[in-house]
Amino acid sequence: MYLMSITLGLLGLLIGSFLNVIIYRVPRGESIVSPGSHCPACGHTLRAWELIPVISFLIQKGQCLNCRARISWRYPAVELLTGMLFFFTATLSLRTETHPFRLLLNLVFIAVLIALSFIDLDTFRLPDVLTLPLLGIGLLGAFLIPGNPSGWESVLSALGAGGLFWGIARVYPQGMGLGDVKLVAALGVFLGFPSIFLAVFIGSLVGALVGLVLFFTGQKHFRQQIPFGPYLAFGAIFALWWGA
């Protein structure tokens, strides 16, 4: 069991490297396929050994070998985060004898949540190019793959949670965007009822606590916007692992 978990954790490191490309390029409207990975400062095309997750960052001492520009610590952080979440998800799923394809679906879910979280932190946007496919893949998996939630439970959870957030966005558009609505609907598809409301509760609680800390430390001002996506993702992963 642990061999499989470790294998998927290592796969998570590789996926995390690709997520860094998505996080950087999607908000800019760039292709995630072409051109190949390169230094954003000088355009130096990265060689294979410069793309090894985490290790390349350490070997290069956090610098581009061509122009010596600093490489953000966030690149290895995203890789490590993805690897760790893949490992723990696999471990818990194997213990509960989750269907292999349901495990694969959950790993896709987590990978997209990581990308959305960092994009939201950077841009205060949750792009449709990620939220809508996540919603579609989740619905397809719910109907075709054995396990919880079932297909119609996913549909009802998405409509219930997404509808609730849509109502909030209509009443208070300054505090809730349609991107959040689509993300919550996708969370409902993957988590079902009542786990979706646990995820929203945890995300809201953690977001409020972090917001208070930022306010009292002077890093944020009252009514200043904060991204909600990362906190929803945190609550969703918690609910995915341990349920209601």
**pLDDT tens-place string over residues 15-57:** 999 999 999 999 998 888 888 887 787 877 888 877 888 998 8
pLDDT, mean over the chain: 88
pTM: 0.92
pLDDT at residue 118, rounded to an integer: 96
Residue 153 structure tokens: 């439970």
Residue 21: name the closest of 30, 9, 13, 10 by CA.
30
pLDDT at residue 171, rounded to an integer: 81
Asked whether 193 and 156 are in contact (CB, 8 A), the reply is yes
Residue 131: name the closest of 179, 77, 68, 71 by CA.
179
SS3 (DSSP) at 171 = helix
Alpha helices in the chain (DSSP H): 2-25, 55-59, 74-95, 100-123, 128-144, 151-171, 178-191, 195-216, 229-242
The values of phi and psi at residue 66, to 5°, are -90, -50
Residue 64 structure tokens: 């581009």
Q: How would you write the pLDDT of the chain (244 residues) with one tens digit per residue?
A: 678 889 999 999 999 999 999 999 999 988 888 888 877 878 778 888 778 889 988 888 888 887 888 888 999 999 999 999 999 999 998 888 888 899 999 999 999 999 999 999 999 899 999 999 999 999 999 999 888 888 888 999 999 888 888 888 788 776 677 888 999 999 999 999 889 999 999 999 998 898 888 777 777 666 677 788 899 999 999 999 987 6
Asked whether 104 and 22 are in contact (CB, 8 A), the reply is no
End-to-end CA distance of the chain: 25
